[in-house]
A and B are shown apart, each in its own frame.
Chain A
């Protein structure tokens, strides 16, 4: 009988000691927030365009980190963002999901100011506050702030907003792959 009691007491004390160690470790090694969300967010293009179905880039990052969202829903980021996310999360590279749009060259909004009627609708649509203006005053776009999400094009009642491709700089220059020559073989040209 005494063996049983010793056994219970010894195991209890052992368990209490280990519990104390784990309790201390839980406080000592507490993780604030989820650092992986910030890392994913840093890789997203921050256009806040909502093409992925989330209200912005941060919610999409949270969706990827916690909700198991696929990494291929970001058209503005395109191929390079998917590659970077795949490297970070150690998952397979997926082709861009065409349902959410296709990769386009980076653009900025341009307001043809002579036609602007000052309705402020585009200001309300802009997710990054890149449009300057007031009611009945002409609006203009701050080029450095604009992410090219084209959310302001739709609400404009007079269609005075154009999406203009950014001028080529060393940062956004891309190699133009030479296309394979078409119709070199006679049968391809249909001239059998």
Chain B
């Protein structure tokens, strides 16, 4: 149990995928201008990331390893992720047209979110990986992504009404804010070693 908690803390805070490992920066900058969209995107990504992490672990462990085809993991993980994203898109379109509309282009773009592939690949690199561990790892990465996305969206909503000097308006101040957040998260380094 402690181990799972450690994995969660590690992926959410210490090795945060966005601010420490610099994965998934596209949705981080793209969907964070409004808090509601950010929350919707976080939920979709959480679902996809956790599911993709589990499925890619299963694919790797029970299909690629027995056939000694470990070198195929990148392409097969991309296949798994694309299927999960497409499936999620269908379900969201059916169950919540509003969320579907709000997420718009970003829902299919989760396919190319490098955090998703990053989690799947890093998962297989870790020694003694089990089913539960990879599920927790994916969930933790997704929660870390959501936390950062929502925090950043909140910050950007404040920045939008602040008096920003002209050369810094728009993406520039966003990048600077992201950098400062990243510095703050670097402060967690050394809290846990996994």
Contacts and interface: CB of A to CB of B under 8 A. Distances in A.
Interface of A: 3, 6-7, 10-11, 14-15, 18, 21-22, 25-26, 29-31, 34-36, 39, 88-90
Contacts of A35: 97
A14 B101 contact: no
A29 B93 contact: yes
Contact of A90 (B36, B64, B90): B36
8 contacts: A7-B69, A25-B87, A25-B90, A29-B91, A31-B97, A36-B97, A36-B101, A90-B37
B67 A22 contact: no
Interface of B: 34, 36-37, 59, 63-64, 67-69, 72, 75-76, 79-80, 83, 86-87, 90-91, 93-94, 97-98, 101-102
The B contact surface, by secondary structure, is helix
Nearest to B37: A90
A14 B76 contact: yes
A21 B101 CA distance: 24
The A contact surface, by secondary structure, is helix
B96 to A, nearest CB: 10
A1 B100 CA distance: 46
B97 to A, nearest CB: 5
Contact of A29 (B34, B90, B97): B90
Contact of A22 (B64, B86, B93): B86
B79 A14 contact: yes
A89 B101 contact: yes
Contacts of B102: 90
A18 B63 CA distance: 14
A72 B59 CA distance: 51
A3 B72 CA distance: 11
A34 B94 CA distance: 10
A37 to B, nearest CB: 10
A162 to B, nearest CB: 42
